[in-house]
A and B are shown apart, each in its own frame.
Chain A
């Protein structure tokens, strides 16, 4: 299995996004290894949509994703904690508007 171990290290990591239904957005479902984008799409089909989970798949090289760092959590997210006025809860919603 040393060969398999070596190829696992060489194959890049891909993040997989699946859209469950028309009208929804793609959601992140997991990651996988693949030698290129075409194979990544196919592996994603086999790993993440075998129980009819989706109608569309995106694969993105994991290294192409810029992620926020846990160290930045305080500066990034905590200031939003007390800004209740950012939530649209100060309006009265007219009758008949269901999906606001």
Chain B
């Protein structure tokens, strides 16, 4: 197995966590309740912790342009949009719609849960250790999203309609999570990576069961967005990165 491959794989998982952490940070001081502010912030911080471990690992495996390792900060603040390899689902903006945040969290945390549960047996000890720790965090994220989908779906006519609309909005970005490519195939054969295609059945079964209990319908769509793993992102990504990176780029090396 090559370090370059492992670094590229860790970068994907790290970018997923990093970008969703940044996206969920939007909710701090804007959630429906003070209690929910804290809940979403805790989830975002869990994700940020996962991102730090994964990006640090990726950066140590591959040397940067100056011949030295790249730090988690280098990778976070100094890459351009096309170099980010997160799935598009995590960058989608909520536009203040709490249901959208919860719909995305249900899908993503269900996927991340199955991924980390399997990755805990990876032949790569660092990835296995990160996954074993993170799976407990993600278990809670998934539960939090589940509780809200049940309450909003099986709530008032308005909350039900909005929760369904939110599921419909994120659904075209779900299949991207299950895509396999050459990198993954190589790493799966080395027992380092988890084949995303194998996550599809358990993830969709969990999500469908929650959606069904919430008296909602699993969306049906032929629209299928993709490209995040190759650095192709939605319009929202540039704005997200501008907010994430501008301080570090405007004041290189700034500390406080």
Count chain A residues whose beta carbon lies closer than 8 angstroms to a beta carbon of B: 18
B127-184 contacts to A (CB < 8 Å): 140, 143-144, 147, 151
- Interface on chain B toward A: helix, strand, loop, or mixed SS? helix
Q: A6-45 vs B: 1/0 string, CB under 8 Å?
A: 0110010000000000000000000011111011001101
Please measure, in the bound complex, the distance between the C-alpha atom of A91 and the C-alpha atom of B151, giving whole angstroms.
59
Given A35-B151, A38-B147, A46-B42, A4–B33 Cβ distance below 8 Å? yes
Contact yes or no, B42 A39, CB < 8 A: no
Q: Known interface pairs A35-B151, A38-B147, A39-B147. Does A46 touch B33 (Cβ–Cβ under 8 Å)?
A: no
Q: Is the CB–CB distance between B32 and A46 below 8 Å?
A: no
Find chain A residues with CB under 8 A from B39 CB: 42-43, 46
Q: Does A55 reach chain B (CB closer than 8 Å)?
A: no
B33 contacts A8, C-beta separation under 8 Å: yes
* The residue from B32, B35, B143 contacting A47, defined by CB atoms under 8 A apart: B35
Does A73 sit within 8 A of B, measured CB to CB?
no
Q: Are A46 and B35 in contact (CB under 8 A)?
A: yes
How distant is the Cα of A39 from the Cα of B38 in the complex, in angstroms?
13
Are the C-beta atoms of A46 and B147 separated by less than 8 Å? Answer: no
- Residue pair A11, B33 in contact (C-beta under 8 Å): yes
How many residues belonging to B are interface residues under a CB distance threshold of 8 Å? Answer: 13
A7 in contact with B33 (CB, 8 Å): yes
User: Are the CB atoms of A50 and B42 closer together than 8 Å?
Assistant: yes
Distance in angstroms between the alpha carbons of A84 and B151 in the assembled complex: 55
- Are B32 and A34 in touch, CB under 8 angstroms? no
User: Could you tell me if B147 and A33 are in contact, using CB atoms closer than 8 angstroms?
Assistant: no
How far does the alpha carbon of A8 sit from the alpha carbon of B39 in the complex, in Å? 16
Within A29-82, the residues touching B (CB, 8 Å) are: 32-36, 38-39, 42-43, 45-47, 50
Tell me the nearest residue of chain A to B39, going by C-beta.
A46
CA–CA, A91 and B3, complex, Å: 73
Complex interface bits, B12-38 against A, C-beta within 8 A gives 1, otherwise 0: 000000000000000000001111101
5 new A-B contacts at CB < 8 Å, known A35-B151, A46-B38: A4-B33, A11-B33, A39-B147, A45-B140, A47-B35
Show 15 residue pairs from A and B whose CB-CB distance is below 8 angstroms, ordered by the A residue.
A3-B32, A4-B32, A33-B33, A34-B35, A38-B147, A39-B151, A42-B39, A42-B144, A46-B35, A46-B38, A46-B39, A46-B42, A47-B35, A50-B38, A50-B42
